[in-house]
Every structure is written in structure tokens, then in C-alpha cells.
Amino acid sequence: MKAAAFDYVRAATLPQALSELGASAGGVKPIAGSQSMGPMLNLRLARPSKVIDVSRVDELRSVTVSGDLIRVGAAITHAEIEDGKYELLRNDFMQYVASGIAYRAIRNRGTIGGSLAHADPAADWPLALATLDARIELAKASGTRRVRASEFMLGAFTTLLEEGEIISAVLLPKMGLTLRWGYYKLCRKTGEFAHASAAAAFDAQTGLARVMLGALDGPPAALEALAQSIAQHGPSAATPEAIAAGVANAMPNADAIDRSMHEATVERCLAQAFGSSGH
């Protein structure tokens, strides 16, 4: 289980990385923390001719303010977010989500951009960032574009990313004191991928009102009716029936057991958002 031979380039700048990526289409893969690509290489499931290491590209390693948004470089690691290394990211939600990703050893190297690009349906960032209505900045040699996090993931391990394009940053709304959030996942054991997960974010000031399910067959799904009715009528609107209806709508092919596990995650994530011990 050793990787087939490939060339390795450590990019110093984003333009260099993008030009390397654009130069030899198809056979080139970007790599950052290597927590998904590494195993894929070793299992020989991914066989690029060249790997561009972007983990030390300055533009991908900074956290800055960009207008109303916080711009998080794609090569920021989960551990850096968990530890509150960047003041702009010192908030409960981001730190809470980061601290629950896999194991510390993985968090030490794994990056927010890498996790999004890999697009595992059971991963944390695709769900968490879609729930926050974050934007994702995609860069290629010809320019950059921004897409909604909730639209970035198309299916399991499939995203909007085009040939020669990488995730350069995640753009987060500033999270104020009025934000109420919940994040709950079921894992068979500490650090495992979730088999059911849910996130909720409500902010009266910005009008954000989202409840989303993760760990589905495809991308996270929004429980829009449920979120709207909670936004209008408060948490009491989240009756077991309303939750069950939302879950059934989001995962029509699931069996009763799967649905019941997801219902429990929604219930508990809402309890976290609105409970007495809330945020």
C-alpha cells in the first residue's frame, strides 16, 4: 500500500500553484494536509503524475477580514481553528466543530479547504459551512469566483471544482452575539465519521435561519420549512412531527432506523441551539 511514483512540487505562491495545476491538466492534484489525498495515493485510488503541495502557500495560510466576511485561507488546519490560533476565528461554533473532527493527529494536518474539496458526505465542514451560509472562494489561473457553501458540493466526493481550480478560501459571515447554533453528530466512537449529523444556525439580526442534515448519501440537505417555522414561531415549532417531516423529506430513501437517528440529531442540535445551556 505505497503510492505509485509521482512528481512533487511545493508551491510557494498561489499563482505558482495555479500555473502548475493549469499546465498539465488531469494528472496534477493539489495536496495540503494529506489526510484524504494521502490514503488515496497509498491505496493507488488516486494516481496523479504530479502533486502540488499548497500547504505552505501564504495566501492560503492567512485569516483576514474581507468586507463583511472573514476570509479563512483554505490551508488553515482544523487544529489551528480548534485552538483559537486566529482571533477572528475565536468563536464557539467554529472551534466546536473543529474540535470534533476525527482525531487530533488528523486535525493537526487536515485543512478546511482539503476537507471541502474531498467532499465526504459524512465530513463536518461541508455541513457546518453550508449551515452558516458561508461562501467558498475558488481560484484558477484565469481568476477567482465565489460560490455558496450550500451549493458547492454536488454529490458524494463531487464538487463544483473545475479542472485546474482549487479552493483558495472560505468566507464566513461574522458571527455575533445574536447567533444561536447547534451542531450534533452521531459517531460510533470518538473520531469516526458521523452516521447521522445535523446543524442549525439562527441569527435574528442577519436573518440567517438554517437547519441542515449531514451524513446523507449526497450533500447536506436543508430542512427549510422547519427552519422557517422556527424563525417565525420560535423553537417550540420544532415538534417531533415537524422534525420527522423535515427528515423524511430530506432523506426519502432512508429506512425508519436511519430516519430516527437523524431525527434525534436534529432534536438535539436544536436543543443545543435553544436550550438553557445554549449559546
Partner 1 sequence: MSSTEPTEAPIESGGVGARVRRREDERHLHGKGRFVADYTFPDLQEVAFLRSPLAHARIEHIGKPERFPGQVIVREDMHTATDIVADSSLPTYKPSAHPPLASGKVRFVGEPVAMCFASSRAEAEDIAEEVELDLHELPAFASAFAARERTDVRVHDHWTDNLFLDLKADVNFDERAKDAPVVVKQKVDLARQCMVPMEGKAVLAYWDHTQAQLVVITSTQVPHMIRTVLSQCLGIDHAQVRVISPDVGGAFGYKCVLQQEELCIAWLALTYKRPFRFIEDRREHLIAGANTRQHHYELTAYADKNGRLLALDCDLLIDGGAYSAWPFTIGLETGQALGNLPGPYDFSGYRCHTQCAATNKPGFLPYRGVARTGVCFAIELTMDAIARAVGREAWEVRYDNLVRGADMPYTNVVKKHYDSGDFQESLKRAAAQLDVAKWRRRQKEGEPDGRLIGIGFATFTEQSAHGTAVFASWGLPVVPGYDLATVRITADGGLEVRAGIHSHGQGMETTLAQIANEVLGVSIQKIKVVHGDTALTPFSTGTYASRSIVMAGGAVAATCRELVPRLIKIGAHILGETEDAVRFEAGEVVGATGRVSLADIGHAWYLRPERLPKDVDLTGLEATHGFKPKVDTGAFSYATHAAAVAIDTRTGHVEILEYVIVEDCGRMINPMVVEGQTIGGTAQGIGTAFYEETLYDENAQPLTSTLADYMLPGPTELPPLTIIHMETLSPYTEFGAKGVGEGGAIAPPAALFNAVNDALSPLGALVSETPLTPRRLLAAIEAAKAAAREKAEAAAEPVHEVIR
Residue selected from 23, 44, 105, 142 as contacting partner 1 according to rule CB under 8 A: 44
Using CB under 8 A as the binding rule, whether residue 231 contacts partner 1 is answered as no
Q: 48 or 164: whose CB is closer to partner 1?
A: 48
Residue selected from 177, 241, 256, 277 as contacting partner 1 according to rule CB under 8 A: 256
**What angle is formed at CA 255 by the lines to CA 253 and CA 260, rounded to 5 degrees?**
120
Using CB under 8 A as the binding rule, whether residue 264 contacts partner 1 is answered as yes
For 252, other C-beta atoms within 10 Å of its C-beta total 8
Using CB under 8 A as the binding rule, whether residue 118 contacts partner 1 is answered as no
- Closest CB 193 distance from partner 1, rounded Å: 7
Shortest CA distance to 263 belongs to which of 247, 241, 239?
Answer: 247
Residue selected from 106, 108, 193, 244 as contacting partner 1 according to rule CB under 8 A: 193
Q: 87 or 188: whose CB is closer to partner 1?
A: 188
Q: Which residues pair with 35 in a beta bridge?
A: none
Using CB under 8 A as the binding rule, whether residue 191 contacts partner 1 is answered as yes
Using CB under 8 A as the binding rule, whether residue 277 contacts partner 1 is answered as no
Query: Is the CB of residue 40 less than 8 Å from the CB of residue 1?
Result: no
Q: How many residues bind partner 1 (CB under 8 A)?
A: 25
What whole-number distance in Å separates Cα of residue 173 and Cα of residue 14? 24
Q: Which residues contact 194 (CB under 8 A, 6 or more apart)?
A: 122, 124, 185, 186, 187, 214, 215
What whole-number distance in Å separates Cα of residue 52 and Cα of residue 35? 15
Using CB under 8 A as the binding rule, whether residue 5 contacts partner 1 is answered as yes
Q: 165 or 263: whose CB is closer to partner 1?
A: 263
Residue selected from 12, 23, 43, 65 as contacting partner 1 according to rule CB under 8 A: 43
Residues 160-189 that bind partner 1 (CB under 8 A): 186, 188-189
Using CB under 8 A as the binding rule, whether residue 190 contacts partner 1 is answered as yes
| DSSP-derived secondary structure for 123-191 | -HHHHHHHHTT-EEEEEETTEEEEEEHHHHEEETTEESPPTT-EEEEEEEE---TTEEEEEEEE-SSTT
Q: Which residues contact 239 (CB under 8 A, 6 or more apart)?
A: none
Using CB under 8 A as the binding rule, whether residue 45 contacts partner 1 is answered as no
Q: 22 or 191: whose CB is closer to partner 1?
A: 191
Site residues (vs partner 1, CB under 8 A): 1-5, 39, 43-44, 186, 188-193, 195-196, 256-257, 260-261, 263-265, 267
